[in-house]
Amino acid sequence: MKPPSQAISQMPRSGIRAIMELAAQQTDVMHLEVGQPNFDTPSHVIEAAARAASDGFTKYTANRGIPSVRETMARKISERNGFDVGIDQVVVTTGAVNALLQALMVVCDPRDVVLISDPAWPNYEMMARVINTPILRFRLIPELGFLPDLGELERLCRDTPRAKVIIINSPGNPTGGVFDRATIEGLLEIAARHDLYIVSDECYEDIVFEGEHISPASLDNSGRVISVFSVSKSYAMTGWRIGYVAAAPELASLISKLQEAVTACASSVAQKAAEAAIGGDQACVDDMRNSYRRRRDTAVRMLNESDLLLGSPHGAFYVMADTSSTGLDGYELCRRLIVESGVAVAPGETFGPAGAGMVRISLATDENDLEEGIRRLSTSIQAWS
């Protein structure tokens, strides 16, 4: 029998998922590895989904999504993200993962180069492997709150004729970094000089503790920015699988066309749930953000006391801890932490070479579990150093 796809066979797995599976086999483990809100989906969102199912929203929708849902999303983008789009520039997708993958697919041909940060969410590299596009990484600077090294990025773009797209993520996973206006403007200038697309992953847009979230598309009218949003993190809706993308009309049409081949359309019931979330009372978002801020402050204090803190995150719900003193490979370290210490965290190497000597701690967990997990982590790192 002929071999299966080399691209998929050679695609690296996310280290986060590997740690999840190992941790699931153990008892008394503090789960700090997964970026999934520990809140329930707000009740008014669940009620809207139930009404939608009762009202017959149980069939295929247009590839782009239900018009009223896209209208709500377009209005939100105008009011909260600061740029205007027509509803035909908005495509509802099966999670932001699909939005990101489809965005890359419509702008890249095989062997075009995708630029991603180091560290970065591992799925970006996985997506690039799927569509046979190599990646280049540009450094994020821990001492500057994990802002990108724009000089290095400029050199990479200048020296790479097949560079096609830059993926940016602010607030960032795994770092919690929030790009300020000057940084966003610098990224846009580099993209313009080298005629590159920007895919902007804004899934954590509502979880900002210091500074402000700035959508790159609000500072650019060239059509080169593809903006990706999600309801997963803001509204504790990870399992509903709804993302959405806003792009120039031609690109949005291509994404909609591609969606027919990939998923046909997003779930009709989940689309109506997302409409209620985005268009409804945002007090639930404020409550969750305030809880994440308290957890951030607790984690920062505890890690600082143990000399493991790499910087206070300004957004998202992650914090990076310094484990370099152990000299252990990140995957081996995380395996030992689960088996010997009963705490699960994500290995820094899964986010890129710059993640070596670090682990990512998720704040999206019970506050008591977070404190106990950090105690176990700190005690283990000190013992193994």
- 152-176 per-position pLDDT tens digit: 999 999 999 999 999 999 999 999 9
Q: For residue 200, list its beta bridge partners.
A: 168, 227
**How many distinct structural domains can be found in the chain?**
2
Question: Are 230 and 138 contained in the same domain?
Answer: yes
DSSP letter (8 states) at residue 284: H
- 343 token code pair: 């705490």
* Single residue among 279, 311, 334 that ends a domain in this structure: 279
- What average pLDDT does this structure show over 72-95? 98
Question: Are 274 and 287 contained in the same domain?
Answer: no
Residue 1 lies in a domain: no
Residue 83 phi, psi dihedral angles, 5° rounding: -145, 150
Question: Are 310 and 239 contained in the same domain?
Answer: no
Q: How far is CA 104 from the centre of its chain?
A: 15
Question: Are 128 and 251 contained in the same domain?
Answer: yes
Q: If pLDDT is split at 50, 70 and 90, which confidence band does 305 have? A: very high
| pLDDT the model gives residue 16 | 87
pLDDT at 36 over 90: yes
Question: Are 100 and 160 contained in the same domain?
Answer: yes
* Single residue among 215, 245, 279 that ends a domain in this structure: 279
What's the domain range around 161?
A: 43-279
* Single residue among 221, 244, 279 that ends a domain in this structure: 279
Question: Are 347 and 361 contained in the same domain?
Answer: yes
Q: At 367, which CATH number?
A: 3.90.1150.10
- 239 token code pair: 């399992």
Percent of the chain surpassing pLDDT 90: 93
What is the spatial distance between Cα 66 and Cα 275, in angstroms, rounded to a whole number? 10
Residues contacting 320, CB < 8 A, separation 6+: 142, 174, 175, 176, 310, 311, 313, 348, 358, 359, 360, 361
pLDDT at 284 over 90: yes
Question: Are 235 and 359 contained in the same domain?
Answer: no
Question: Are 340 and 205 contained in the same domain?
Answer: no
- pLDDT 10s digits, 173-203: 999 999 999 999 999 999 999 999 999 999 9
Question: Are 90 and 137 contained in the same domain?
Answer: yes
- What average pLDDT does this structure show over 287-306? 98
| CA proximity to 275, closest of 90, 16, 25, 63 | 90
Q: At 113, which CATH number?
A: 3.40.640.10
